């Protein structure tokens, strides 16, 4: 659906790597170009019309995000360079000042590198322990396993809402309820979920949430850090500089601005933030329920066909998202991706930045198809036809 | 293709007298170990193991076949020719023999797949000069 809105789809390609980044609709591109062509001034600076326009558009995008995730107030919405930046700010800016040696951080083996390495660093610098919640046979996180993994020393639970290789949707609301009963903070990596399902931070009651604009039809280099206001108040800015300070006279006299500006040092990615706002308006117009419904429909269509091909091993048969991970028996995943590329089909091969996943799947690398609402049954048919002929794959993969 | 389906010299080497280098591509998942037994400045034996795509495996198979029994300097000359071929510089196709087929990969993302085993061999050979 809505294929005409995406300039990239006018090319002869079948794009099935939406988990890596999504395509951008024309309205997002236009909105960003308009900034560069019509009011390309800095934010929060000048007393002239076009600079005022920048402020209005930039803060309008913040209002759109606030409403989109149902934050209590716009002070809880900080613009960053992406989910990675947000997660590092949370780990280093907030938790580094809170954890003590021996504290435990719970994650899973299917987290993306960006939700592993900041915690590993905290473990190295502060003597905390990073423990892994065991996953079930489908590589899903169960409430039972979560409960068993919690100890009196558990301080943080950091999880993806939808994992990027297995594609399972975590029951975040229940996880948060259990965590809070045990005085544990919950950090959610929403990079894979935000553009694909409704995310309501107040309903979920998460403490922190991170996502990137580019996986939800927006531009690269822009993202969001959400935090409950009382927590963000205690998040030390990693970057100090222009825009975020109120006044300074000496090292002992530095006064910072209020939230959220306090956490946005330097000239921000103005076009990116405004583009993210346009992406949100576009998604709202379609409706997130409708997007999710369409993705599940496409996934079922794809799985029904793939499962009939004897030389295809599907790694994540059970998952409630548009992510399908598989291998062609006896063929290296990258070679299959290269073969599909010859037919202008874009899929991802490798470990998908989730390098610990291999420890639980026993499979070092896989092919991943990640669908979005603009994909079609016809595209899936073409893909499946190419995958069903193993001799053709092997003879054409070089 | 034959070198992918039936790679030559692909075996694990436990003999500690062999020199070993790990070579991998940080942007993808190819990961190879190259082993060499060098005596009197001659590559007496060469092998590789690891997990990688068809291009890397076949490239390693052809490379190891061609480097066996070569002197260290002849081997470096061979590797240098491959480097030149992949980077649009002058090279001698007679030196490279069947490895010239990889000329088709020089402008694609698979250039690094083809070069991967060569980097490992080069690392080993250069370490012997020190």
Tell me the domains of chain A and their CATH numbers. 26-285 (3.40.640.10), 288-396 (3.90.1150.10)
- Bridge partner residues of A15 (DSSP): A346
Mean pLDDT value across residues A95-122: 96
Mean pLDDT value across residues A71-93: 98
Residue B76 to residues B17, B70, B118: CA-CA distances in angstroms? 21, 9, 10
- The separation between CA A298 and the C-alpha centre of its own chain, rounded to angstroms, equals 21
State the pLDDT confidence band at A388, using cuts at 50, 70 and 90.
Answer: very high
Q: Does A398 contact chain B (CB < 8 Å)?
A: yes
Mean pLDDT value across residues B121-126: 91
Q: Do A335 and B30 touch (CB under 8 A)?
A: no
Rounded Cα–Cα distance for residues A22 and A15 (Å) = 9
Q: Which two tokens stand for residue A40?
A: 């390309």
Q: Does B110 contact chain A (CB < 8 Å)?
A: yes
Catalytic (active site) residue A353:
yes
pLDDT greater than 80 at residue B29? no
Residue A393 to residues A306, A344, A381, A389, B58: CA-CA distances in angstroms? 15, 14, 16, 7, 16
Rounded Cα–Cα distance for residues A111 and A211 (Å) = 14
- The separation between CA A183 and the C-alpha centre of its own chain, rounded to angstroms, equals 26
Name the residue range of residue B70's domain: 2-129
Q: Does A248 contact chain B (CB < 8 Å)?
A: no
Q: Between β-strands A154-160 and A104-107, what pairing exists: parallel, antiparallel or unpaired?
A: parallel
Residue B1 pLDDT: 64
Q: At what angle do helices A270-286 and A288-306 cross, to 10 degrees?
A: 80
Per-residue pLDDT tens over the stretch A207-266: 999 999 999 999 999 999 999 999 999 999 999 998 898 899 999 999 999 999 999 999
Query: What value of ipTM does the predicted structure carry?
Result: 0.72
- Bridge partner residues of A77 (DSSP): A226
pLDDT greater than 70 at residue A159? yes
Q: Between β-strands B19-24 and A345-346, what pairing exists: parallel, antiparallel or unpaired?
A: unpaired
pLDDT greater than 70 at residue A96? yes
Identity of the residue in A332, A349, A351 whose CB atom sits nearest the CB atom of B52: A332
State the pLDDT confidence band at A298, using cuts at 50, 70 and 90.
Answer: very high
Q: Using the 8-state DSSP alphabet, how is residue A321 labeled?
A: S
Per-residue pLDDT tens over the stretch A332-363: 998 999 999 999 999 999 876 667 777 776 67
Residue B96 pLDDT: 84
Identity of the residue in B1, B53, B58 whose CB atom sits nearest the CB atom of A334: B53
Cβ within 8 Å of residue A277, ≥6 positions away: A31, A57, A60, A61, A64, A65
- The separation between CA A245 and the C-alpha centre of its own chain, rounded to angstroms, equals 29
pLDDT greater than 70 at residue A32? yes
Q: What is the CATH number of the domain that holds B113?
A: 3.90.1010.10
Q: Does B24 contact chain A (CB < 8 Å)?
A: no
Residue A27 pLDDT: 98
Interface test with A, best of B2, B54, B58 (most A CBs within 10 A): B54
pLDDT greater than 80 at residue A379? yes
Dihedral, CA of residue A357, residue A362, residue A366 and residue A371, to nearest 10: -50
pLDDT greater than 70 at residue B27? no
State the pLDDT confidence band at B102, using cuts at 50, 70 and 90.
Answer: confident
pLDDT greater than 80 at residue A44? no
Number of domains in chain B: 1
The number of C-beta contacts closer than 8 angstroms across A and B is 31
Contacts of A351 in chain B (CB under 8 A): 29
Residue B28 pLDDT: 65
More confident residue, A397 or A208: A208
Q: Between β-strands A223-227 and A185-189, what pairing exists: parallel, antiparallel or unpaired?
A: unpaired
Mean pLDDT value across residues A50-60: 93
Q: Do A350 and B52 touch (CB under 8 A)?
A: no
Per-residue pLDDT tens over the stretch B35-93: 999 999 999 999 999 888 888 899 999 999 999 999 999 999 999 999 999 988 888 88
- CA-closest candidate to residue A194, choices A54, A94, A64: A64
Give the rounded percent of residues in chain B with a pLDDT score beyond 70: 96
Active-site hit among A283, A353, A367, A369: A353
State the pLDDT confidence band at B106, using cuts at 50, 70 and 90.
Answer: confident
Q: Which two tokens stand for residue A353?
A: 């930045």
Q: Do B29 and A364 touch (CB under 8 A)?
A: yes
- Bridge partner residues of B40 (DSSP): none
Residue B101 pLDDT: 83
């Amino acid at each position: 659906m809505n294929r005409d809105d995406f300039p990239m789809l006018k090319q002869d390609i079948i794009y099935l790597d939406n988990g890596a980044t999504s395509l951008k609709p024309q309205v997002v591109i236009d909105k960003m170009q308009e900034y560069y062509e019509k009011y390309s001034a800095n934010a929060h600076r000048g007393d002239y019309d076009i600079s005022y326009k920048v402020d209005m558009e930039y803060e309008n995008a913040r209002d759109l995000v606030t409403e989109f995730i149902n934050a209590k107030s716009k002070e809880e919405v900080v613009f960053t360079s992406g989910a990675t930046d947000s997660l590092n700010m949370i780990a280093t800016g907030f938790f580094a000042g809170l954890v003590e040696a021996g504290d435990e951080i719970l994650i899973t083996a299917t987290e993306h590198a960006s939700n592993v390495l900041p915690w590993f660093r905290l473990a190295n610098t502060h003597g905390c322990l990073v423990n892994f919640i065991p996953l079930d046979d489908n590589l899903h996180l169960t409430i039972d396993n979560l409960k068993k993994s919690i100890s009196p020393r558990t301080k943080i639970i950091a999880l993806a809402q939808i994992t990027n290789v297995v594609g399972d949707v975590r029951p975040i609301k229940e996880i948060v309820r259990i965590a809070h009963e045990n005085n544990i903070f919950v950090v959610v990596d929403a990079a894979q979920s935000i553009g694909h399902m409704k995310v309501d931070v107040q309903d979920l009651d998460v403490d922190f949430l991170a996502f990137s604009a580019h996986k939800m039809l927006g531009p690269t280099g822009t993202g969001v850090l959400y935090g409950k206001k009382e927590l963000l108040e205690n998040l030390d800015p990693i970057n100090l500089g222009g825009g975020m300070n109120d006044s300074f006279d000496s090292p002992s006299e530095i006064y910072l601005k209020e939230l959220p500006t306090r956490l946005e040092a330097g000239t921000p990615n103005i076009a990116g933030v405004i583009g993210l706002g346009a992406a949100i308006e576009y998604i709202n117009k379609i409706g997130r329920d409708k997007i999710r419904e369409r993705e599940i429909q496409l996934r079922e269509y794809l799985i029904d066909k793939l499962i009939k091909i004897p030389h295809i091993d599907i790694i994540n048969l059970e998952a409630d998202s548009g992510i399908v991970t598989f291998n062609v028996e006896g063929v290296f995943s990258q070679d299959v991706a290269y073969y599909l590329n010859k037919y202008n089909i874009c899929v991802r091969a490798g470990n998908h930045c989730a390098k610990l996943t291999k420890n639980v799947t026993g499979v070092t690398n896989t092919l991943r198809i990640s669908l979005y609402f603009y994909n079609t049954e016809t595209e899936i048919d073409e893909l499946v036809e190419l995958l069903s002929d193993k001799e053709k794959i092997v003879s054409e993969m070089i | 293709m034959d070198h992918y389906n039936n790679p030559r010299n692909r075996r694990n080497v436990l003999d500690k007298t062999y020199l070993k280098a790990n070579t991998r591509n940080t942007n993808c998942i190819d990961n190879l170990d190259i082993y060499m037994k060098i005596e009197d400045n001659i590559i007496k034996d060469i092998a590789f193991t690891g997990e990688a795509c068809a291009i890397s495996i076949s490239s390693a198979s052809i490379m190891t076949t061609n480097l066996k029994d070569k002197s260290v300097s002849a081997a470096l000359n061979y590797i240098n020719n491959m480097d030149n071929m992949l980077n649009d510089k002058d090279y001698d196709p007679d030196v490279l023999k069947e490895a010239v087929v990889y000329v088709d990969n020089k402008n694609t993302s698979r250039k690094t797949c083809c070069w991967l085993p060569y980097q490992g061999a080069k690392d080993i050979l250069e370490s012997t000069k020190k």
